[in-house]
Structure 1
Amino acid sequence: MSGHSNYEPKTGFERWLDTRLPIVRLAYDSLVDFPTPKNLNYWWTFGGILAVCLGIQIVTGIVLAMHYVPHVDYAFNSVERIMRDVNYGWLVRYMHSNGASMFFVAVYIHMFRGLYYGSYKAPREVLWILGCVIYLLMMATAFMGYVLPWGQMSFHGAVVITNLFGALPVVGPSITTWLWGGFAVDDPTLNRFFSLHYLLPFMIAGVVILHIWALHVPGNNNPTGVNVKSKEDTVPFHPYYTVKDGFAISVFLLMFATFVFFLPNALGDAVNYVPANPLVTPAHIVPEWYFLPFYAILRAVPDKLTGVLMMFGAIAMLFILPWLDTSKVRSMRYRPTAKLYFGIFVLACLILGYCGGRLPDDHVIPGLSTFQLLDADLNSMVWLSRIAAAYYFSYFLIVLPILGLTETPLPQPESISAPVLSHPANAPAGAAASPEKRG
């Protein structure tokens, strides 16, 4: 999609700058005149929403860092001081804590959209992999940020998660010791997590720039999955998609504001409002909601090392996805069987998230008499997690490779304009579009 620039400097200063640092030309070609498929729906607005979320997290994080004290004796009290004594500190802190959840809501929708419409397929493999790198950095940033308030769940969550690395052979103990800065989760750990939590968002911003660059080389995918074949298939990014994205961002910010002002602690855990105490372990240690599917996969396996490998493997599947899907058709609009399996995959992810937030021995159906097999309760959350996790991995390793070779897709339109222009509403008066041309 990259090609000749239509930017023309209008002032002497712009001409002077353009010959030395063509940053205005870059912004014009990327945000104004960039040819964009004209059939993008609102699922494509979450890229802009994510950019806004990242900006909010960086700005509020910088303000919070001005007042936070990364020391085990003062961290919890410094957060309370931000809430009570710093001007609008409560607002900045609630924006930052709820902003992390909004960030993950948007990124999960963005990822599921990419899965459904095949945005990971050639020639967009690097674009997808960079997106997975962003997701991985987000997870690391969020985990370290959750430790910083130094409440009960923060401390014991850090103990549990960092101990998982110790299960890795050879390098595991060294990684754990480096993360701790010693031989237990203590003051050096908090200092390291604060430093990395401050650094990683800027690394995310750098990878986002690469992500956008990788997007602008082949151009956007679109709901049909058909490549753009002519200029008639595109419109300039501005004003068409700046207005559309702006409206979607406004709606998203209304939801964001609802949590900040009316439900600020709905997505957190009340136990984290108790100062960290290494001698008192919470009855149920759970991570933030956006980690729950992976936590369920970890708990579904009795062996610690296997559980850790499967948890990391669940993320690794995303990186190799472009080579696992053997279908030549991008969009699932034209793959009815794949659409069915994808719906089950989304359901499996939701089930994993639900199981991750429940106790392992909770019953799926309370009060129902349970069956016993090898002393394992088949009605427990562990077994439901195992079933959902088995489908999660089967979807990537079995369903997508085989389905691409055996499925017969529906006919695809010749261009992205065909489904719109052949609609009966666009036919001449008294005539209807022929069945073979209907999109």
Structure 2
Amino acid sequence: VSKIKSFLPVNLPRYLTKNYLVSLLSNHIVFYPSPISLSYAWSFGSLAGITLVIQMISGIFLSMHYTPNINLAFSSVEYIMRDVPNGWLIRYIHANGASMFFIVVYAHTLRGLYYGSYMEPRQILWCSGVILLLLMMGTAFTGYVLPWGQMSLWGATVITSMVTAIPFAGQALVQWLWGGYTVANPTLNRIYSIHFVLPFVIAGMSLIHLALLHKVGSSSPIASDTGVDDVPFYPYMVSKDLFAFTVYLLVFGIFVFYFPNVLNHPDNCIPADPMKTPAHVVPEWYFLPYYAILRSIPTKGAGILAMFGSLMVLFLIPFINTSEIRNTTYRPLFKIFFWLFVSDFVILAWLGQKPMRKTFIFAGQIATAYYFFFFLVVIPVVGKIEYALVHHKSES
């Protein structure tokens, strides 16, 4: 605290500690101790929070003009784009904000994997982050349906039809989900309601995630939890986050103002037609790796299990890890497997947009096998190999 008083007015430190509400906020924002070795890779968490706020505000403004009706939804989006003052800007911010959200969160997750943020004492913190990722995916899927273009309709049909893979009750469940025998107006109304509510659930879960983070503290690149190298969050980390936010806004602005539709599928600019199936149904880019896993398994039920398993396996990482070294930089063997995994994830995303041909299916099966191999074999086994090598060297 003494380090930061020189940066504040004379009476402000006393006010920050005397007022209960202000002291609560200041303890978690101003005086919160952070390892001095944190790099810009740790800014992705705060950028994710900022993106959530942007998405919620822009979404509320869009909901004022959107009509959740299959006969009016597409027209209401066009009305927002053409007639609502600055509606085009709000819509492009919201549409591209979803992609920016996943870019930031995927980078945040990879940073956590690289620097061992799932290791003790942060197991529950990691699991809360995985829950946030699942909630994000649910929100993104429901949001993709709302414009009611061709990809919206058929994407909703394909994804919700997965429920039929549940033995015995699958058909009844999908009809309950649809509100009828096909994806129609009741389905759109339910999806709109879910999409409106989920961001507030994410906001609440984010507070839990932050509370867990501040309980155990931020992980450090040098894996030091002693607190010796900690500095106040303000002004050291705030200045880093502000610079990262500036770069983020620059990239975001390039997408919004120069390439607003580059991340969207052109078929979604066509009104939904239940009588005409698109030549190639694909989800948004951030779902492509999991879609590739789904398609790589020839059996429907097994494919669905593999797709959901590729997300559920993230919960296991803190409990199957055997390494005592957090930073992958100091784990040469694991580093090779880690960057192969990153490459594998990119390959899965590329395969997810390709047509169903034998070559792409076979490549998807290999990529899927390595995806699960990394989590279920590499993470628990490489740690034991490292332990054995270190102890063998020390004994010799």
What code does the residue aligned with 2:339 have?
A: G
| 1:300 aligned residue | 296
Are positions 1:248 and 2:244 aligned together?
Answer: yes
Q: Give deviations 1:207-228, integer Å, cap 9, x for gaps.
A: 0000000000110001122323
* TM-score normalised by L of structure 2: 0.93
Other structure's SS at 1:36 match: strand
CA distance in 1, matches of 2:116, 2:332: 14
* TM-score normalised by L of structure 1: 0.84
Task: From the superposition, tell whether residues 240 and 174 of structure 1 become closer, same or farther in structure 2 (CA, over 3 Å).
Answer: farther
Q: Give deviations 1:385-430, integer Å, cap 9, x for gaps.
A: 100000000111111111111125999xxxxxxxxxxxxxxxxxxx
Give the CA deviation at 1:179.
2.2
Task: From the superposition, tell whether residues 326 and 170 of structure 1 become closer, same or farther in structure 2 (CA, over 3 Å).
Answer: farther
> What are the within-5 Å matches in structure 2 for residues 338-349 of structure 1?
338-349=334-345
Which structure has more relative contact order (CA 8 Å, sep 6+)? It is: 2
| 2:394 aligned residue | none
CA distance in 2, matches of 1:10, 1:200: 41
Give the CA deviation at 1:263.
0.2
Aligned partners of 1:295 and 1:311 also within 8 Å: yes
CA distance in 1, matches of 2:282, 2:102: 17
| 2:140 aligned residue | 142
Q: Give deviations 1:87-130, integer Å, cap 9, x for gaps.
A: 00000000000000000000000000000000011100111111
| 1:364 aligned residue | none
**Stretches of structure 1 lacking an aligned partner (at least 5 in a row):** 1-5, 362-376, 412-439
Are positions 1:219 and 2:198 aligned together?
Answer: no
| 1:74 aligned residue | 72
Task: From the superposition, tell whether residues 31 and 278 of structure 1 become closer, same or farther in structure 2 (CA, over 3 Å).
Answer: same
Work out which of the residue numbers 353, 373, 377 in structure 2 matches 1:398.
377
CA distance in 2, matches of 1:166, 1:340: 40
When structure 1 is superposed on structure 2, of 294-303 and 218-227 the one drifting more is: 218-227
Q: Give deviations 1:179-229, integer Å, cap 9, x for gaps.
A: 212221000000001011000001000000000000001100011223234
What code does the residue aligned with 1:193 have?
A: I
Task: From the superposition, tell whether residues 132 and 9 of structure 1 become closer, same or farther in structure 2 (CA, over 3 Å).
Answer: farther
CA distance in 1, matches of 2:239, 2:68: 42
CA distance in 1, matches of 2:282, 2:101: 20
Work out which of the residue numbers 146, 151, 158 in structure 1 matches 2:156.
158
Give the CA deviation at 1:168.
2.0
Q: Give deviations 1:124-170, integer Å, cap 9, x for gaps.
A: 01111110011000000000000000000100000000001211224
Aligned partners of 1:36 and 1:219 also within 8 Å: yes
Other structure's SS at 2:298 match: coil
CA distance in 2, matches of 1:82, 1:242: 36
Work out which of the residue numbers 96, 100, 111 in structure 1 matches 2:109.
111
Work out which of the residue numbers 8, 31, 34 in structure 2 matches 1:33.
31
CA distance in 2, matches of 1:410, 1:225: 20
CA distance in 2, matches of 1:314, 1:177: 27
Are positions 1:290 and 2:281 aligned together?
Answer: no
| 2:181 aligned residue | 183
Task: From the superposition, tell whether residues 15 and 353 of structure 1 become closer, same or farther in structure 2 (CA, over 3 Å).
Answer: closer
> What are the within-5 Å matches in structure 2 for residues 60-139 of structure 1?
60-139=58-137
What code does the residue aligned with 2:365 have?
A: R
| 1:281 aligned residue | 277
Aligned partners of 1:334 and 1:410 also within 8 Å: no
CA distance in 2, matches of 1:293, 1:98: 19
| 2:329 aligned residue | 333
Aligned partners of 1:325 and 1:404 also within 8 Å: yes
Aligned partners of 1:336 and 1:409 also within 8 Å: no
CA distance in 2, matches of 1:383, 1:15: 61
Which structure has the larger Rg?
Answer: 1
Q: Give deviations 1:312-360, integer Å, cap 9, x for gaps.
A: 0000000111012111111112111001100111111111000001112
When structure 1 is superposed on structure 2, of 281-290 and 176-185 the one drifting more is: 176-185
Task: From the superposition, tell whether residues 170 and 209 of structure 1 become closer, same or farther in structure 2 (CA, over 3 Å).
Answer: farther
Task: From the superposition, tell whether residues 395 and 15 of structure 1 become closer, same or farther in structure 2 (CA, over 3 Å).
Answer: closer
Other structure's SS at 1:235 match: strand
Give the CA deviation at 1:57.
0.2
Task: From the superposition, tell whether residues 278 and 35 of structure 1 become closer, same or farther in structure 2 (CA, over 3 Å).
Answer: same
Work out which of the residue numbers 181, 184, 191 in structure 2 matches 1:193.
191
Other structure's SS at 1:260 match: helix
Are positions 1:355 and 2:351 aligned together?
Answer: yes
Structure ranking higher in helix proportion: 2
Aligned partners of 2:16 and 2:22 also within 8 Å: no
What code does the residue aligned with 2:273 have?
A: N
Residues matched between the structures, number: 383
Aligned partners of 1:141 and 1:197 also within 8 Å: yes
Other structure's SS at 2:365 match: helix
Aligned partners of 2:322 and 2:380 also within 8 Å: yes
Tell me the C-alpha RMSD between the 2 structures.
Answer: 2.1
CA distance in 2, matches of 1:15, 1:325: 41
Percent identity, aligned pairs only? 48
Other structure's SS at 2:166 match: coil
What code does the residue aligned with 1:400 have?
A: I
Q: Give deviations 1:47-101, integer Å, cap 9, x for gaps.
A: 1111110010000000000000000010000000000000000000000000000
